[in-house]
């Protein structure tokens, strides 16, 4: 399609005049891979259609929430009914209680939960709660783990051990991140030294159990166990950021997966989003009753939100959670995702392309590397140019993966074996075009 007939080009030119970069979230801009973003007109099941009415098999699923696929009948019915009753009240509703009860039943490490509107808001509030509950200031995070765009968490590591954070965004003063320590993911030695030096001042350690913003990098069992042990030993709170993994990698979220390998394992605070909202703006953070009761109006830690517990969003999330609880759903989703990852691996091997991949539940990731990386430094060794070529070759064949090297992918219950077979065939053709 020539540029003068591609409606995506026209929409992007129009968007750039009124929206910074033409998009309302940076990764949508295709700046990393080049080319023009696809402007979505509609979606159904495992597919979406762009402004040119071109259909794509969708492996981002709104970056994770669409675990049932687009337009699931039970979700549509629930949202429609809720919208007819009212969009927002600024007052409590019974459905907020129902959703909270549903979340707590799936993630028993939480005894109480507070609903908010975004993952960033949930992560920011969890950090404030940890500081308020412990009376301490310092926070440990890991390079390559993204916890939203709150000022205190927009930091990366410098050289050396336990480097104090330096802002990675303009507009974040250095003093805002002076209490944030950034360590290498899966590095137990750094972790132990950081607690040895700063343990008495650490309010909390925040981590993604599977880092989904450096593609797909899972925490090792030993690393996870040590995070839990050191937090307990030093009186810090372990904050599990399950915005991406929550009810996505398993019905009980990633913490249930790690609990199988670490008896009794559970975090102190859990941050959730995406799947629990079913595609609506909804997130949550929760933990043990004694910690959560530090929140206003019971305690001194303030947090509020006009649209928190929005009645339409809670209807969407509640319907989604009830569907994924159905017997056999996660077994089927896991099998589909494994089928995709194994197919991609075989296709790459057949074309002699260095490739490694991993998956859990309905979340997956791959690297143009012979072995799976364990941290951000290793992830950065991936050949970005080759990935960009692969991305566009798949796009040309009707397969939509994340338009960035450092993002995980997602399979939904709506993806069929035929969709996966089509994807693998397209990938084999795409791999054959990459320089050897």
Give CA–CA dist 152/164, Å, rounded.
Answer: 11
Pairing of strands 409-410, 399-400: unpaired
Residue 302 is among the residues annotated as catalytic for this protein? no
Per-residue pLDDT at 60:
97
List 185, 274, 400, 406, catalytic entry: 274
| 182 DSSP β-pair partners | 141, 163
CB burial of residue 31 (10 Å; 0-12, 13-18, 19+): middle
Per-residue pLDDT at 159:
28
Per-residue pLDDT at 5:
77
pLDDT in tens, the chain (436 residues): 555 679 999 999 999 999 999 999 988 999 989 999 999 999 999 999 999 999 999 999 999 999 999 999 999 999 999 999 999 999 999 999 999 999 999 999 999 999 999 999 999 999 999 999 999 999 999 998 999 888 888 776 332 333 344 556 778 777 778 889 999 999 999 999 999 999 999 999 999 999 998 999 999 999 999 999 999 999 999 999 999 999 999 999 999 999 999 999 999 999 999 999 999 999 999 999 999 999 999 999 999 999 999 999 999 999 999 999 999 999 999 999 999 999 999 999 999 999 999 999 999 999 999 999 999 999 988 888 999 999 999 999 999 999 998 899 999 999 999 999 999 999 999 999 998 7
Per-residue pLDDT at 162:
35
φ and ψ at residue 246, rounded to 5 degrees: -60, 125
For 73-324, CATH number out of 1.10.3720.10, 3.40.640.10, 3.40.30.10, 3.30.230.70 equals 3.40.640.10
Per-residue pLDDT at 156:
63
- 269 close to 109: Cβ distance less than 8 angstroms: no
List 9, 50, 58, 241, catalytic entry: 241
CATH 3.90.1150.10 segments of the chain: 7-71+327-433
| 12 DSSP β-pair partners | none
Per-residue pLDDT at 160:
32
List 47, 59, 146, 400, catalytic entry: 146
Instruction: Note if the pTM is more than 0.85.
Output: yes
Q: What is the separation of C-alpha 27 from the centre of its chain, rounded to a whole number of angstroms?
A: 13
Question: Looking at the domain 7-71+327-433, which fold is it?
Answer: 3.90.1150
Q: Which helix (H) or strand (E) holds 410?
A: strand 409-410
Beta-carbon-side half-sphere exposure of residue 298 (alpha carbons within 13 Å): 11
Residue 146 is among the residues annotated as catalytic for this protein? yes
Q: Cis bond leading into 297, ω under 30°?
A: yes
CATH 3.40.640.10 segments of the chain: 73-324
Per 3-state DSSP, what percentage of the chain is helix, strand, and coil (rounded to 5)? 40, 20, 40
φ and ψ at residue 336, rounded to 5 degrees: -65, -45
Could you give the angle at which helices 329-350 and 311-324 cross, rounded to 10 degrees? Answer: 80
Residue 151 is among the residues annotated as catalytic for this protein? no
Give CA–CA dist 172/150, Å, rounded.
Answer: 9
Per-residue pLDDT at 167:
55
């Amino acid at each position: 399609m020539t540029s003068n007939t591609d409606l995506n080009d026209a929409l992007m030119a129009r968007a750039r005049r009124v929206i910074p970069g033409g998009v309302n979230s940076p990764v949508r801009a295709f700046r990393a891979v080049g080319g023009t973003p696809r402007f979505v007109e509609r979606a159904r099941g495992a597919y979406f259609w762009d402004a040119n009415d071109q259909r794509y098999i969708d492996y981002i699923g709104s970056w994770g929430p669409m675990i049932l696929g687009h337009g699931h009948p039970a979700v549509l019915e629930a949202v429609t009914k809720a919208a007819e009753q009212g969009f927002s009240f600024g007052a409590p509703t019974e459905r907020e209680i129902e959703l909270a009860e549903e979340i707590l039943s799936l993630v028993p490490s939480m005894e109480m939960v507070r609903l908010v509107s975004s993952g960033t808001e949930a992560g920011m509030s969890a950090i404030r709660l940890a500081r308020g509950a412990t009376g301490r200031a310092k926070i440990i995070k890991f390079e390559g783990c993204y916890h939203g765009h709150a000022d205190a968490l927009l930091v990366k590591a410098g050289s050396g051990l336990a480097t104090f954070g330096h802002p990675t965004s303009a507009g974040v003063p250095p003093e805002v991140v002076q209490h944030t320590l950034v360590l290498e993911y899966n590095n137990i030695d750094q972790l132990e030294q950081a607690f040895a030096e700063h343990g008495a001042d650490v309010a909390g350690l925040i981590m993604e159990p599977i880092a989904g913003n450096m593609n797909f990098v899972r925490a090792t069992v030993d690393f996870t166990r040590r995070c839990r042990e050191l937090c307990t030993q030093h009186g810090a709170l372990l904050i599990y950021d399950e915005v991406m993994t929550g009810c996505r990698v398993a019905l009980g979220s990633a913490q249930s997966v790690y609990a199988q390998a670490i008896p009794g394992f559970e975090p102190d605070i859990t941050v959730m989003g995406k799947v629990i909202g079913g595609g609506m703006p909804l997130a949550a953070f929760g933990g043990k009753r004694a910690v959560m009761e530090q929140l206003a109006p019971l305690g001194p830690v303030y947090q509020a939100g006009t649209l928190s517990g929005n009645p339409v969003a809670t209807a969407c999330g509640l319907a989604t959670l009830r569907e994924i609880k159905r017997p056999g759903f996660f077994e089927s989703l896991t099998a589909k995702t494994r089928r995709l990852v194994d197919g991609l691996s075989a296709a790459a091997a057949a074309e002699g392309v260095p490739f490694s991949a991993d998956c859990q539940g309905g979340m997956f990731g791959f690297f143009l590397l012979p072995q799976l990386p364990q941290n951000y430094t290793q992830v950065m060794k991936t050949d970005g140019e080759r990935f960009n070529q692969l991305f566009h070759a798949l796009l040309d064949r009707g397969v939509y993966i994340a338009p960035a090297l450092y993002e995980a992918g997602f399979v939904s219950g709506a993806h069929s074996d035929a969709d996966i077979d089509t994807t693998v065939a397209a990938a084999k053709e795409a791999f054959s075009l990459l320089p050897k």
